[in-house]
């Protein structure tokens, strides 16, 4: 592992802009932004994927390996990734730092407390929560309606028992009410952190966050509780992007980690923007499949930050295509050309969708050991028919060596094809129509049904003056529809919008379809039970 000071030097960052966390992690001070802000920007490449399956598609892996490959062919590249949430590492997820020869390091540290950003979000979130109940306890001058406090508490742990509770029991312990916890990555503050341009934008967004409603039905915000400055103070370090490296020494900006359903699921704007000033190419990822991740990356992150993505890489795997063609999980390792043929419609629709944003696409087949050439050939043929370039990525087994051709093709594409990026809808479109537009154009449903609660919610959001916000779809990642088992490229379905909620600080309206859990639980035998650390500090079972 090279000292992070040297990795930073490679991309022109002087020591004075670094704040080291040990020898291999560093935060980057805003002073660097002042130095580089007038430079031209590199090109932004999004790595997205077909719908996720139990086999794992390797989006993070591919992002890391591609960045290594681009550097190997002489294209100065930085990868911009999300920070792993600590809680799920102890459940069944394992780490989120890539694997094989495409990993970011120090992987243990990054998967554990890293530089404390997520802990800072937890603290800021819970300070606001405590101030809300404290306000009610001490006279409730704002006349908050206890039944309509929408701000929950947060913890970076998988703990289903905290989803729904009654707090304030006992003598002198405040107002008795229903409450609950989110996992920290689902906090609006995490989304705010990721979308803020700087501390002053952060301050304004935090202030706009709606924490509940008063007895007259008006929204009550964090600024009214006097909590904003204290939250800014708690978040000031967390706003600085983190620099680490890949196994091959490629620089990686790991910053922010919002949920990809009730939030937008992309790494921070400050990290992306800074990377674009430091590298020729910036490779970044968005959560889940392109129906959720890419759509939100384009419609929320790029819209708000004024970013223009130059290209998108769509990660597919032979296994995931077969799964979408109807093969059960246990049989994915066996060749099955017919099923693969059936499942290609999933890839095809994602390609069509990305093109609707005017962004050039390259398909990357993330190669697994058992893949047979007949299957791979079928994917390549379909891509050719669609006029889309396709490359095989062997970054897990080979690192940059397995991404040379992949990287060269991407560079060619960046050179030859111009991005005509436009978000799918304008700000002016009303929220209901925005939802219908996403459902119609991206998911390909025949219609949208709104529950009475959703109808009321939409009316309220309009009344509060937030009708011009983009929508943030909370939907199962496994299907284009709201039914997790409807694989492939389903048609003819109706989307059911259960509820809508306002994230005024993040700047979007969350559209709840189906039942999205914002606090995961642990499995019967959690990963935590199988971890160990030996006398040399070597950890097993974490990654």
In the range 77-106, which residues lie near a copy of itself by CB under 8 A?
A: 86, 90
Quote the CA–CA distance of 259 and 270 in Å, as a whole number.
18
Q: Is residue 119 within the footprint of a copy of itself (CB under 8 A)?
A: yes
Options 73, 112, 150, 401; binder of a copy of itself; rule CB under 8 A: 112
The window from 58-66, 112-120, 301-309, 405-413 that contacts a copy of itself (CB under 8 A) reads: 112-120
Q: Which CB, 4 or 497, lies closer to a copy of itself? A: 4
Q: Which of 94, 100, 116, 335 binds a copy of itself (CB under 8 A)?
A: 116
**Which is nearest to 351 in space by CA: 339, 342, 360, 340?**
360
Query: Least distance in Å: CB of 428 to a copy of itself?
Result: 34
- Choosing from 92, 140, 526, 543, the residue that interacts with a copy of itself (CB under 8 A) is 526
Using the 8-state DSSP alphabet, how is residue 82 labeled?
A: P
By beta-carbon proximity to a copy of itself, the closer residue of 257 and 402 is: 257
Handedness of CA 21, 22, 23, 24 (dihedral sign): negative
Any known ligand binding at 55? Answer: yes
Q: Annotated binding residue at 58? A: yes
CB of 297 closer than 8 Å to CB of 311: no
Tell me how far, at minimum, the Cβ of 144 lies from a copy of itself, in Å.
13
* Using rule CB under 8 A, residue 31 touches a copy of itself: no
Q: Which is nearer to a copy of itself, 122 or 304 (CB)?
A: 122
Is 120 a residue that touches a copy of itself (CB under 8 A)? yes
* Smaller CB separation from a copy of itself, 14 or 533: 533
- Of 23 and 456, nearer to a copy of itself (C-beta) is 23
Q: How far is CA 534 from the centre of its chain?
A: 33
Residue 177 or 341 having the CB closest to a copy of itself: 177
Contact region with a copy of itself (CB under 8 A), list: 127-135, 208-216, 286-294, 485-493: 127-135
9 binds a copy of itself (CB under 8 A): no
Alpha carbon distance 147, 345 (integer Å): 46
**Binders of a copy of itself in range 129-188 (CB under 8 A):** 129-131, 133-134, 137-139, 153, 155-170, 172-175, 178-179
In the bound state with a copy of itself, the residue whose beta carbon lies nearer, of 76 and 541, is 541
Q: Say how far apart CA 65 and CA 81 lie, in whole Å.
A: 12
CA distance 251 to 68: 9
DSSP H or E run through 154: strand 153-155
Q: Nearest distance from residue 199's CB to a copy of itself, in Å?
A: 8
Q: Are 295 and 473 in contact (CB under 8 A)?
A: yes
DSSP H or E stretch at residue 513? strand 508-513
What does the alpha-carbon distance between residue 396 and residue 115 come to, in Å, rounded to a whole number?
A: 26
| Spatial distance between the Cα atoms of 395 and 367, rounded to a whole number of angstroms | 8
**Residue 392, strand partner residues:** 365
Query: Does residue 56 have a known ligand-binding role?
Result: yes
* Minimum distance of a copy of itself from residue 234's CB (angstroms): 7
- Residue 155 or 392: the one with the smaller Cβ distance to a copy of itself is 155
> Which residues 418-457 are close enough to bind a copy of itself by CB under 8 A?
none
Q: In terms of C-beta density within 10 A (0-12 exposed, 13-18 middle, 19 or more buried), how is residue 408 classed?
A: middle
- The token pair that represents 31 in the structure block: 């002073």
Q: Figure out which of the listed residues 1, 6, 14, 22 binds a copy of itself, where binding follows CB under 8 A.
A: 22
How far lies 484's CA from each of 123, 161, 165, 324, 390, in Å? Answer: 34, 24, 28, 11, 28
Cβ contact 264:236 at 8 Å = no
23 sits near a copy of itself (criterion: CB under 8 A): yes
Distance CA 320, CA 2 (A): 36
Task: Draw the binding track, 486-525, toward a copy of itself (x: CB under 8 A; -: no contact).
Answer: -----------------------------------xx-x-
Is 55:320 a contact under the CB 8 Å cutoff? yes
Backbone φ and ψ for 501, nearest 5 degrees, come out as -145, 150
Is 85:79 a contact under the CB 8 Å cutoff?
no
Q: How far is the CB of 148 from a copy of itself (least distance, A)?
A: 16
Say whether 174 counts as a known binding-site residue: no
Q: In what order do the strands lie in the sheet with 447-450?
A: 447-450, 494-503, 508-513, 471-474
Q: Which of residues 216-275 bind a copy of itself (CB under 8 A)?
A: 226-227, 229-230, 232-234, 236-237
Q: Among residues 108 and 491, whose Cβ is nearest to a copy of itself? A: 108
Distance of closest approach, residue 208 Cβ to a copy of itself, in angstroms: 18
Nearer to a copy of itself, 38 or 138 (CB): 138
Whole-angstrom distance, CA of residue 70 vs CA of residue 78: 9
Q: Cα 434 to the chain's mean position, in Å?
A: 21
Q: How far is the CB of 167 from a copy of itself (least distance, A)?
A: 4
# binding residues, a copy of itself (CB under 8 A): 74
409 is in an annotated binding site: no
- In angstroms, the first-to-last Cα distance of the chain is 18
Nearer to a copy of itself, 29 or 419 (CB): 29
Q: How far apart are CA 188 and CA 339, in angstroms?
A: 40
| Residues annotated within a binding site for ATP | 53-60
| Residues annotated within a binding site | 53-60
């Amino acid at each position: 592992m090279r000292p992070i000071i040297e990795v930073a030097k490679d991309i022109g960052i002087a020591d004075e802009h670094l704040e080291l966390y040990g020898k291999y992690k560093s935060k980057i001070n805003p002073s660097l932004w002042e130095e580089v802000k007038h430079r031209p920007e590199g090109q932004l490449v999004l790595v997205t994927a077909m719908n996720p399956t139990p086999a794992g598609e390797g989006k993070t892996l591919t992002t890391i390996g591609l960045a290594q490959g681009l550097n190997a062919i002489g294209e100065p590249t930085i990868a911009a990734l999300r920070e792993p949430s600590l809680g799920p590492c102890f459940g069944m997820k394992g780490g989120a730092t890539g694997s094989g020869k495409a990993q970011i390091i120090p992987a243990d540290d990054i998967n554990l407390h890293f530089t404390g950003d997520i802990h800072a979000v937890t603290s800021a979130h819970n300070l606001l929560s405590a101030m809300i109940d404290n306000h009610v306890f001490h006279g409730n001058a704002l006349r908050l309606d206890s039944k309509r406090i929408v701000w929950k508490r947060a913890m970076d742990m998988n703990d289903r028992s905290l989803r729904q509770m009654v707090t304030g029991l006992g003598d002198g312990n405040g107002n008795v009410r229903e409450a609950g916890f989110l996992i920290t990555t689902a906090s609006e503050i995490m989304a705010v952190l990721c979308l803020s341009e700087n501390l002053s934008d952060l301050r304004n967004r935090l202030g706009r966050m709606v924490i509940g409603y008063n007895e007259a039905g008006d929204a009550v915000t964090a600024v009214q509780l006097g909590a904003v400055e204290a939250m800014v103070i708690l978040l000031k370090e967390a706003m600085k992007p983190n620099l680490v490296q890949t196994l091959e020494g490629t620089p990686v900006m790991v910053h922010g980690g919002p949920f990809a359903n009730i939030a937008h699921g992309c790494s921070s704007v400050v990290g992306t923007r800074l990377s674009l000033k430091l590298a020729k190419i910036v490779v970044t990822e968005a959560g889940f499949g392109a129906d959720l991740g890419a759509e939100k990356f384009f419609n929320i992150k790029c819209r708000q930050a004024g970013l223009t993505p130059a290209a998108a890489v769509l990660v597919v795997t032979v296994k995931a295509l077969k799964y979408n063609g109807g093969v059960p999980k246990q049989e994915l390792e066996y060749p099955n050309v017919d099923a693969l043929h059936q499942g290609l419609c999933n890839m095809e629709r994602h390609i069509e969708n990305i093109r609707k944003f005017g962004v050039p696409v390259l398909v990357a087949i993330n190669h697994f050991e058992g893949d047979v050439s007949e299957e791979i050939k079928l994917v390549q043929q379909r891509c050719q028919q669609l006029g889309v370039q396709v490359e095989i990525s062997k970054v897990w087994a080979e690192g940059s060596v397995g991404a040379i051709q992949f990287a060269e093709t991407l560079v060619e594409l960046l050179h030859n094809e111009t991005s005509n990026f436009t978000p799918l809808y304008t700000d002016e479109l009303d929220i209901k129509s925005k939802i219908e537009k996403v459902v119609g154009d991206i998911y390909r449903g025949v219609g949208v049904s709104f529950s009475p609660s959703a109808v009321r919610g939409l009316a309220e959001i309009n009344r509060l003056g937030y009708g011009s916000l983009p929508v943030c779809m909370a939907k199962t990642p496994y299907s284009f529809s709201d039914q997790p088992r409807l694989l492939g490229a389903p048609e003819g379905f109706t989307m059911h919008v259960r509820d809508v909620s306002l994230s005024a600080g993040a700047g979007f309206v969350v559209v709840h379809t189906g039942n999205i859990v914002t606090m995961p639980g642990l499995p019967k035998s959690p990963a935590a039970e199988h971890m160990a650390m030996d006398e040399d500090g070597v950890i097993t079972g974490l990654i």
